[in-house]
């Protein structure tokens, strides 16, 4: 809404005021003229101030609208990065589950062949006990192999189901932290196969938390992928990643480290800056660590600190309040 004094800036209004001033001033004293001129000047200044305030208001509205657009774009980028990570986990899951399913199908196919063999043995007039027992033993071994691999495939599916549901929402539930870490590592196994990596996890098996597991899965996934893409991107002979977790005074303390190439001070200083990446040519978005920082500081209300030097890997110390379940 425009201010009431803005129309004073209209040319006709100003002209009328000036004419009135000169007409009235014809018989005035110098003192009266000065007072009238001062009053007119005040009106003009008020008019200019009103116009300036109106212009500022429009600028503020434009800036707010642009900020809303930027925030919406940022949220879209963050969601896109989350979905991209989930997509990589899907690809890894598909590769992982292919092996046990393939072995189970082979065992079942061989079992069908052995059943046909046993039927033919039974149809014969004379059957050797050794032959029959040998065929039955082979059938039992195939059945055991198929069951073992089908159970393994079922565990992979259950693990992926938990991870996919958790990462696609921030719903709160009670979860076992060690199980969550294992699910994340299992989902990213395909990322690790091309590297000579060893993984160490130090976490109590009975550490239960009532919280949002999707946030922790996203955090760990980003840290692990960051190590694979940046820490071990060169021709390093071998690598090691260590994850530890413990409860401390109502807080969960996570330590994550690798012995990769490390970071220069100028890179470390911008580590959590959105869109900053040293691997833009390799498709890096620069959002992975920014998402980690946001998850820890905003969503979990905690702190995250990183220490690194060139050639000495990285070490993250993460601490946030958590509700533990006995």
- Most confident range (mean pLDDT) of 24-28, 136-140, 150-154, 245-249 is 245-249
Please report the pLDDT score of residue 255 as a whole number.
96
- The enclosing H or E element of 110 equals helix 30-123
More confident residue, 3 or 46: 46
More confident residue, 280 or 243: 243
CB 243 within 8 A of CB 256: yes
d(CA 186, CA 71): 34
Tell me the two tokens of residue 289: 């660590």
DSSP 265-302: HHHHHTTTSTT--S-GGGT--S-HHHHHHHIIIIIS--
Tell me which long-range contacts 92-97 makes (C-beta under 8 A, separation of at least 24): 92/187, 92/188, 92/189, 92/190, 92/191, 93/156, 93/160, 93/187, 95/190, 96/156, 96/186, 96/189, 96/190, 97/153, 97/156, 97/157
Q: Summarize pLDDT for 54-67 with one digit per residue, the tens.
A: 888 888 888 888 77
Q: Give 255's strand partners.
A: 244, 317
Q: How far is CA 12 from the centre of its chain?
A: 61
d(CA 270, CA 256): 19
Lowest mean pLDDT among 1-5, 59-63, 89-93, 133-137: 1-5
Q: Is 169 helix (H, G, I), strand (E, B) or coil?
A: coil
- The enclosing H or E element of 98 equals helix 30-123
Please report the pLDDT score of residue 6 as a whole number.
44
The closest of 80, 90, 79 to 164, measured between CA atoms, is 90
């Amino acid at each position: 809404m425009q201010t009431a004094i803005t129309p004073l800036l209209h040319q006709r209004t100003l002209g009328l005021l000036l004419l009135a001033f000169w007409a009235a001033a014809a018989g005035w004293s110098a003192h009266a003229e000065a007072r009238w001129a001062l009053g007119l000047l005040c009106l003009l200044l008020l008019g200019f101030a009103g116009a300036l305030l109106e212009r500022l208001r429009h600028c503020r509205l434009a800036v707010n609208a642009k900020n809303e657009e930027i925030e919406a774009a940022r949220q879209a980028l963050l969601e896109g990065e989350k979905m991209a990570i989930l997509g990589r986990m899907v690809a890894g899951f598909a590769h992982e589950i292919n092996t046990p399913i393939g072995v189970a199908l082979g065992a079942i196919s061989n079992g069908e062949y052995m059943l046909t063999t046993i039927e033919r043995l039974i149809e014969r007039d004379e059957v050797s006990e050794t032959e029959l027992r040998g065929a039955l033993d082979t059938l039992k071994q195939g059945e055991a192999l198929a069951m073992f691999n089908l159970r393994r495939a079922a565990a992979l599916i259950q693990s992926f189901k938990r991870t996919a549901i958790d990462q696609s929402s921030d719903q709160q539930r009670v979860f076992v932290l060690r199980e969550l870490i294992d699910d994340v590592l299992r989902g990213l196994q395909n990322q690790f196969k091309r590297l000579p990596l060893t993984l160490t996890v130090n976490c109590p098996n009975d550490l239960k938390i009532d919280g949002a597991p999707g946030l922790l899965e996203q955090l760990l996934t980003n840290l692990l992928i960051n190590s694979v893409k940046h820490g071990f991107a060169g021709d390093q002979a071998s690598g090691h990643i260590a994850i530890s977790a413990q409860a401390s005074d109502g807080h969960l303390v996570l330590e994550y480290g690798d012995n990769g190439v490390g970071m220069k001070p100028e890179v470390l200083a911008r580590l959590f800056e959105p869109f900053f990446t040293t691997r833009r040519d390799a498709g890096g978005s620069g959002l992975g660590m920014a998402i980690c920082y946001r998850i820890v500081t905003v969503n979990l209300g905690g702190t995250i600190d990183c220490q690194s030097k060139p050639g000495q890997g990285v070490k993250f110390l993460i601490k946030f309040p958590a509700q533990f379940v006995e």
